[in-house]
Amino acid sequence: ESDFTPFLYYPPYISYLYLPFFVITALFSYAFFNGSLSEFQSFVASDPSIFFLTGRVIMILISLISIYLIYRIVLSLTKDRLSALTSAFLAATSSMHIILSITGKHWMPILFFYALGLFCLSNESWSFRKRFLLSALITGIGAGVSSIIILFTLMMVFWYLFIEKRGFKKMFTDIVMYQSAGIVILLFILPILLYPASLGFVPDMTLHDGKTIFGLISSPFVFPYRLIIIEPLVTLMALIGLVLGIRKYKSFYISSALFLILYSFAFYMFFRFEYRFLLPFIIFISIGAGYGVKELKDRIPSIYLKIVLAVFILLSLIISIRLSYLGSLNDSRILAKEWLDS
């Protein structure tokens, strides 16, 4: 364990996921390698890029599944295919989504588990018990990928109160909620028992740093600031979706807003603000933006507005293609900055 602690300081499930694929990659590479086993070991040690590429392919596949889940979530919520397709498209073309999906780290699975949890909660064809127990199972397993996923329990609580409308008092007597809590707690403990260094992030916690009431109150605005700057058009469309859809989807918007506020509070109090921690925001912003595009199209039958919306979609596509190309050349951040500067 001590050999891995310096660089594997998060829960181990992603590493477990990689192992069978790395074994297959190694066996396949060795089958076509012209040399001895010791020579092959030296070759891999000198150039392990095949394993990095394998990890990146896995993350891209996970990101594609996440996009599909966002489509299904919006379809369940709105019963409108255009809103669902637009939300999935905007999530797919999100700069953050692209940048983090081409790395082999555990960031994209965070988005995946949040999307999978929301998919379970919003699936009306399942019973209440099945939806919440599956969401708890997903949250607990996800905690073995990243402790950030444990915060999805907040969304489960708000979903219970505002969308299921079962009441605050009922929540403390509902056996399903106790079963869900038990599943999450047990599965949260399991990766820590398997790999105690899963809590390697604890020394980096900032709870004892200087915190202020103003900092706490302003955190829901300060935290997503970078995402707003990078995705201004999508954020604007999400706000339009909020204004046009607040009456029809009031319960969902209240639940989402409360979750994002408490999510921001948690990172202000215990961690710090970093770009990659905003991944769950992509789901909610994409949902709002997709609905905003659909409502504008339906409410204002102007050819000029349709042209503006088409340009908005086209710009998102062009930027995402360019960013993906830069990512294929390796460091998308540096190359993207050079592109913008030019």
Which of these ranges, 104-118, 140-154, 318-332, has the smallest mean pLDDT? 318-332
- Asked if pLDDT for residue 119 goes beyond 90, the answer is yes
pLDDT of residue 318: 80
pLDDT of residue 328: 64
Q: Give the sign of the dihedral formed by CA 190, CA 193, CA 196, CA 199.
A: positive
pLDDT tier at 303, thresholds 50, 70, 90: confident
3-state SS of 153-167?
HHHHHHHHHHHCCCC
- Asked if pLDDT for residue 219 goes beyond 60, the answer is yes
Amino acid in position 187: L
- Asked if pLDDT for residue 333 goes beyond 80, the answer is no
pLDDT in tens, 229-276: 888 888 888 998 999 888 889 999 999 999 999 999 988 888 777 777
- Asked if pLDDT for residue 53 goes beyond 90, the answer is no
CA distances from 94 to 54, 66, 100, 163 (A): 23, 13, 10, 28
CA distances from 73 to 114, 161, 246 (A): 11, 19, 17
pLDDT in tens, 84-104: 999 998 898 888 878 777 776
Provide the 8-state DSSP code for 11.
Answer: -
Amino acid in position 54: T
- Asked if pLDDT for residue 148 goes beyond 70, the answer is yes
Higher pLDDT, 60 or 207: 60
pLDDT of residue 10: 74
pLDDT in tens, 11-52: 888 888 888 998 999 898 888 888 888 888 888 888 877 888
- Asked if pLDDT for residue 9 goes beyond 70, the answer is no
pTM recorded for the entire structure: 0.87
- Asked if pLDDT for residue 1 goes beyond 60, the answer is no
d(Cα 334, Cα 90) in Å, to the nearest integer? 23
pLDDT of residue 162: 95
d(Cα 205, Cα 5) in Å, to the nearest integer? 17
- Asked if pLDDT for residue 57 goes beyond 60, the answer is yes
